[in-house]
């Protein structure tokens, strides 16, 4: 379905779970099927995401989608898009909430993704048709992401981070906040780690996530296994496992493992050729950009500043 709709707040099709949140939009503009706007799980995170954040977003969004839960996010570059791609690749419904008109393709790299979501799920906004993206609108739309969800999972966030506004809106709306912990050495994970310290529920694997989703949204509509290993750690060596936790430069790896730099370079070359690690623009090596809940579907998400 790819039809436009406008739902005033008194329209019976307006999502009831959004209506009774602080500052609900007076009108919800959308393209797609408004019946998709049932309570779901929001999966959000950093725009300038690391491969760890992208993989975590895809792992948990993919599992939720496989289990039949609705996945909600903001369509932004990074973790948001990783979550949408994982839900779409699972053949499940996903909802994108934009900080521009629901008919506007933004960010620029999301044209095909948004087209798919409009056809199989729904894209919504509180802004009228054709409204251009504006910085203030992205923070404001976060309250809609929170309001449409039963819970918000933060997969990666640095300090400071706009992701915190979604967590704040979720708490204001009486929604659960969950977070994926990250390395204490990675500044990209400092925000999500702080959320856990402040009381967010930690989510460390699919089994934990399954229990939280069942508590928030009821039993899964599809039976899926949560026993398969994460694609991040399957078959990992000591060096590969260390880089998953904390991306490092070759000289740092050599010092940490007591190896000479030539041996480290050779091992990095092997791991990189296997697709298990990748070299980052700043010279560090870390987990490769795997964005699938079962390791079978892989997609590289561009890391740019759109959205």
State the average pLDDT over residues 71-83.
96
pLDDT of 266 higher than 60: yes
With contact defined as beta carbons under 8 Å apart, do 149 and 18 qualify?
Answer: no
What CA–CA distance (Å, rounded) separates 110 from 144? 20
DSSP character at residue 301: P
- The overall longest dimension of the chain from CA atoms, in Å, is 69
pLDDT at 233 over 50: no
pLDDT score recorded for residue 307: 39
| Other Cβ atoms closer than 10 A to 190 | 19
139 Cα distance to chain centroid? 16
**Is 153 a residue whose pLDDT tops 80?**
yes
Task: Give the predicted TM-score (pTM) of the model.
Answer: 0.80
Query: Are 4 and 103 contacting, i.e. CB atoms less than 8 angstroms apart?
Result: yes
Residue range 190-216, pLDDT digits in tens: 999 999 999 999 999 888 999 999 999
- Say which residue the tokens 């640095």 belong to: 158
- Cα separation, 262 vs 67, whole angstroms: 46
List, in order of start, the domains of the chain with CATH numbers.
4-217 (3.40.50.450), 238-287 (1.10.10.10)
Nearest to 76 by CA among 203, 166, 176, 202: 166
């Amino acid at each position: 379905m790819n039809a436009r709709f406008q739902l005033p707040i008194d329209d019976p099709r307006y999502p009831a779970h959004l209506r009774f949140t602080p500052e609900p939009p007076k009108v919800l503009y959308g393209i797609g099927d408004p019946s998709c706007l049932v309570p779901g799980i929001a999966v959000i995170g950093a725009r300038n995401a690391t491969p760890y954040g992208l993989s975590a977003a895809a792992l948990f969004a993919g599992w939720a989608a496989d289990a039949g839960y609705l996945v909600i996010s903001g369509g932004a570059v990074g973790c948001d898009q990783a979550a949408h791609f994982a839900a779409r690749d699972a053949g499940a419904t996903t909802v994108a909430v934009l900080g521009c008109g629901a008919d506007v393709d933004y960010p620029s790299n999301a044209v095909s993704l948004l087209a798919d979501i409009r056809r199989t799920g729904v894209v919504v906004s509180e802004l009228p048709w054709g409204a251009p993206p504006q910085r203030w609108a992205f923070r404001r739309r976060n309250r809609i992401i929170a309001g449409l969800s039963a819970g918000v999972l933060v997969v990666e966030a640095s300090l400071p981070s706009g992701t915190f506004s979604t967590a704040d809106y979720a708490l204001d709306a009486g929604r659960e906040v969950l977070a994926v912990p990250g390395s204490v050495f990675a500044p990209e994970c400092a925000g999500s780690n702080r959320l856990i310290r402040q009381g967010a529920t930690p989510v460390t694997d699919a089994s934990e996530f399954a229990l939280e989703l069942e508590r928030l949204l009821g039993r899964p509509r599809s039976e899926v296994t949560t026993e398969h290993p994460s694609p991040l750690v399957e078959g990992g060596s000591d060096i590969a496992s260390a880089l998953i936790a904390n991306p490092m430069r070759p000289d740092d790896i050599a010092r940490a493992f007591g190896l000479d730099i030539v041996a480290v370079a050779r091992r990095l070359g092997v791991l990189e050729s296997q697709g298990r690690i990748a070299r980052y623009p700043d010279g560090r090596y870390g987990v490769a950009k795997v964005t699938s809940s079962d390791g079978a579907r892989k997609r590289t998400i561009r890391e740019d500043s759109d959205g």
